[in-house]
Amino acid sequence: MIHVTRRSSTASQSDSDKYGTLDDTDMSVNSLTSVNSISSLLREKLLMNIQKMSKNKEVQADYKLRAFIIFLFIVIVCVLKLAHVYYDRHVLQKAYFKYTRFNKDDRFLRLFGVDGHEIAFGYLGVDLAEREKAFDCLAEHRTPPNAQCFEWMQKARLYLSHEERPEGLNCYTVEWFSLTDKYNPIDCYEDGEQYGHWYGGGRTLGMAWPVQLGRVEMSPFITGHVGRHRWGSVLGRYFINSKGVAITVHSNTPLHVSINAGRDNRLCIKASHDDFAYRRTADLPVLNYTICSARNMKTLHTALSEKMLWDGLKASDTEIINSLLTEPVWQLAPPRKELLNESTMVNYTEDIITLGFIKQGHVLLNEFWQAEMGDFSLDQKRFPTMKETINIIHRRGFRIVVTIQPFISTESRNFAKAVKEGILVRQIGNERDVPALTRYKTVQSAGMLDITNKNCGPWLQQQLKDLVERYQFDAFYLDMGSAYDLPRHYLFAENLTNPDYYKSLFTQTVSDSVNVFGVSSAISRPPAPIFVSLLSLASTWDSLQVIIPTMLTYGIVGYPFLLPGPVGGDFQVGNVSLHALLPPDNPSIELLETQSMKECKQRGQNYNESRELVMRWMQLATFLPVIRYARLPSDCDPQVLQLTKNLTSLRQQTINPLLKRYVQEALETAVPLIRPLWMLDPSDTTCYIVKDEFSIGEEVIVAPILRPGATEREVYLPAGVWKDGIEGSLRKGSRWIHNYKIPLDKIAYFVKMPNNTRF
């Protein structure tokens, strides 16, 4: 028992040890298991998070993929849609004419050069609603057959046609017919660097060159007085740009024009009737013009100029032209009638001869040779022995030119006769044929000859023939005013679609019977040898600065023979600086008249500035087609007299032969004598914007001083080699001469040398 018990005790102890050992092991195992469980949990958590994150990323990626696919789909649809639209437009634009694209829905007209570059961009039918639908015209409206015809229902009909002309010209006719009196067709063309610089039209306020540097509100394209009206006294329905594109508006269009009005960089033309300039008769307005293109604007302008317009020119006509180019015009235009008499004429011509270095030339009398405007006879109180006086002046070598107007003062001896003959413009709406009255210059009440009346022309011609026969006048100067000088409610015997046609009819009627020296206003080139006068200018520096751009513009629109105003200006306006100056039609404006040194010096502190202005003006006038004086060079200052002697010598030796050489070219091609620099080198973009230089033909470039106190300036020379007229040195062209020195007694000019000249 005891043994067993011990054994049991031993066994129990051993078991106890054994179990004790096992308990420790279990504890370790349990600890490890716990650690492993935590690790497993962490791994599971981590794995779950990773899986969750992965799923989130997959979802996000799926969303992004779907969004990208949707975006790509939208882009593809848009691209396809745009491609379809542009393809459709491209096909439509290419389907019409060579070198042009036009879409009838957009109404955008694009012109391209032969090299494929876009040279003009036009907005047609500006007042039509955007994307307003256009329809093809009905068969009976498709005339001519080669024209494309589109119609906007009950608003307008458009005809487009194309013509290829010689010398590489492509011309497109654009013709709008309004179908309702509520629609007036307007087309606009871009200008500026991308689409070129526009030139032409006529004189505007400030006389911008090119025209996009100025601003003109939409207004009737009729003659006016700059400063009171939008346009000047000489106009041409012709605009040309530096990309080789030109617009010529047909004479049947009731034309309105704007430049940079409302929207910048646009030249706009409009057809519209009104109650004065373009009165509606029966038809609705028509906008009809031709737009032509060529490889450059010199080629284009030369091709579009009217050729051999004066085939019937007589030898005597050529002689008159040459006499005007080589002999000065002496203007006698005192401010009051009593200052013009026989003694004035005799003394004036005697003083000219006393100078000894200037040819006699032409003596131009203003309208004060009559007692009243419209008398067409001499004032016997002031000219009792005029026949003998004219004989004396003729023997001295002068020609006598007198000024006439189409206006007859109500104080004139001819007014009652004209009323009785029914040859005055009538007042519209008056059944009793009452003459319509107007004002002109110093005349407060005057009628106007109705040159469309079949009895008016013969009556006027007989009046002028009698004058010539009795007094041996050599020629007449036609001072016709502007369209705005017409009576407000005018009515002609025959309807004129444009009131300015009056000028052309009046000029033709007079020139058919007597010699015409020049005209003050024009809308078409008068027959040779008639010169077209620049507008009256005040004695200011601003006036001097507008002469060159005005000459260039008149030359471009078709007037090669130009008559500048007198040296120093026509009249004085004190110290007022004006861009636009009106003819003196009130007593407050003092006309320049011959005056002594003493009178001139009475100007006090303004004397030196006045002398400088006259000297710079004289320098410029030396290179213009005609030199015109309102006072003698010997008046005021010996320095002016000496300068005149030097410039007269230069004129006779160098300029006169040059002008006579280019007369024949002007007669045959209508290319102007005075030309912009781009006519020498149409590829030189710098030449497009030079407005204070010009060339005589292609041989001499003139760069005068045009600002007070200046003795230097920037000068640009086109391609070639040029001889400096002051220094005698040779200068290479296609570059600027900076700070070129020009003393008060000099003018910068440069003579073209042969192409093979080396230096």
pLDDT at residue 49 greater than cutoff 90: no
Q: CA 147, CA 161: separation in Å to the nearest integer?
A: 4
Report the pLDDT value the prediction gives residue 47, as an integer from 0 to 100: 57
Q: How confident is the model at residue 566 (pLDDT cuts 50, 70, 90)?
A: very high
Q: Which residues pair with 165 in a beta bridge?
A: 169
Q: Are residues 396 and 341 in the same domain?
A: yes
Q: Is residue 188 part of a domain?
A: yes
When mean pLDDT is compared across 67-71, 179-183, 351-355, 740-744, the lowest value belongs to 67-71
- Backbone angle region of 589, left / alpha / beta, with phi > 0 → left and psi within -120 to 50 → alpha: beta
Give the pLDDT of residue 131.
72
β-bridge pairing 571-572 and 169-178: unpaired
Residues 149 and 269 in one domain: yes
Residues 186 and 75 in one domain: no
Q: At what angle do helices 456-471 and 501-511 cross, to 10 degrees?
A: 40
Q: How many helices (H) and strands (E) does the chain have?
A: 13, 38
Domain identity same for 67 and 200: no
Has residue 609 got a pLDDT over 80? no
Q: Are residues 63 and 152 in the same domain?
A: no
Residue 7 has pLDDT above 50, yes or no: no
Same domain, 345 and 250: no
- Does the residue 437 lie in any domain? no
Total number of domains in the chain: 4
Same domain? 285 vs 223:
yes
Q: Which CATH number characterizes residue 631's domain?
A: 3.20.20.80
Q: Give the Cα separation of 445 and 428 in Å (integer).
A: 18
Per-residue pLDDT of 629-662, as tens digits, reads: 998 988 878 899 999 999 999 999 999 999 999 9
Give the pLDDT confidence of 653-679 residue by residue, as tens digits. Answer: 999 999 999 988 888 888 899 999 999
CA torsion sign, 361 to 697 to 242 to 169? positive
CA distance 97 to 299: 22
Residue 234 one-letter amino acid:
V
Give the bridge partners for 748, in sequence order: 703
Residue 56 clears pLDDT 80, i.e. is over it: no
pLDDT at 318: 85
Nearest to 441 by CA among 368, 506, 384, 379: 368
User: Looking at the predicted structure, is the pLDDT value of residue 20 above 60?
Assistant: no
433 occurs within a structural domain: no
Which of 34, 60, 95 is the last residue in one of the domains? 95
User: In one letter, which amino acid is 587?
Assistant: P
First vs last Cα of the chain: how many Å apart? 151
461 and 507 in a common domain:
yes
Q: Tell me the mean pLDDT in the region 672-690.
A: 95
Residue 3 has pLDDT above 80, yes or no: no
Question: Which pLDDT value is given to residue 343?
Answer: 95
Model confidence at 705, in pLDDT bands (50, 70, 90)? very high
Whether the pLDDT of residue 610 is over 90: the answer is: no
Asked which of 603, 624, 655 is the last residue of a domain, the reply is 655
pLDDT in tens, 176-215: 999 998 899 999 999 877 888 999 999 888 778 888 778 8
Nearest Cα residue to 660 out of 628, 625, 629: 625
Average pLDDT (454-481) is 96
Distances (CA, A) of 86 to 89, 90, 95: 5, 6, 14
The answer to whether residues 620 and 651 touch, using CB atoms and an 8 Å cutoff, is no
Under 8 Å CB-to-CB from 387, ≥6 apart: which residues? Answer: 470, 471, 472
- CATH number assigned to the domain comprising residue 740: 2.60.40.1180
More confident residue, 69 or 676: 676
**Whether pLDDT at 315 is above 90:** no
Q: With respect to residue 494, please indicate whether it lies within any of the assigned structural domains.
A: no
- Number of other residues whose CB lies within 10 A of the CB of residue 545: 18
Asked if residue 86 belongs to a domain, the reply is yes
State how far the alpha carbon of 17 is from the alpha carbons of 4, 9, 20, 31, 476, in Å.
19, 12, 5, 21, 155
Structural domain that includes position 689: 676-752
320 close to 353: Cβ distance less than 8 angstroms: no
Lowest mean pLDDT among 85-99, 237-251, 468-482, 615-629: 85-99
H-helix or E-strand containing 755?
none
Task: Determine, yes or no, domain membership for 490.
Answer: no
- Asked if the structure places residue 567 within a domain, the reply is yes
Plot region of 372 (φ>0 → left; ψ -120 to 50 → alpha; else → beta): beta
Spatial separation of the C-alpha atoms in residues 196 and 359, rounded to whole Å? 44
One-letter amino acid for residue 143 of the chain: T
Q: Give the rounded distance of the alpha carbon of 226 from its chain centre.
A: 14
Same domain, 123 and 81: no
For residues 548 and 643, state if they share a domain. yes
Question: What pLDDT shows up at residue 16?
Answer: 41
User: Among residues 95, 127, 144, which one ends one of the domains?
Assistant: 95
Q: What is the band of 600 on the pLDDT scale with cuts at 50, 70, 90?
A: very low
Residue 663 lies in a domain: no
Q: For 444-458, how does the pLDDT look when each residue is reduced to its tens digit (9 = 90+)?
A: 999 999 999 999 999
Q: Are residues 530 and 651 in the same domain?
A: yes
CA distance 205 to 182: 31
Mean pLDDT of the chain: 85
Are 211 and 281 part of one and the same domain? yes
pLDDT above 50 (res 328): yes
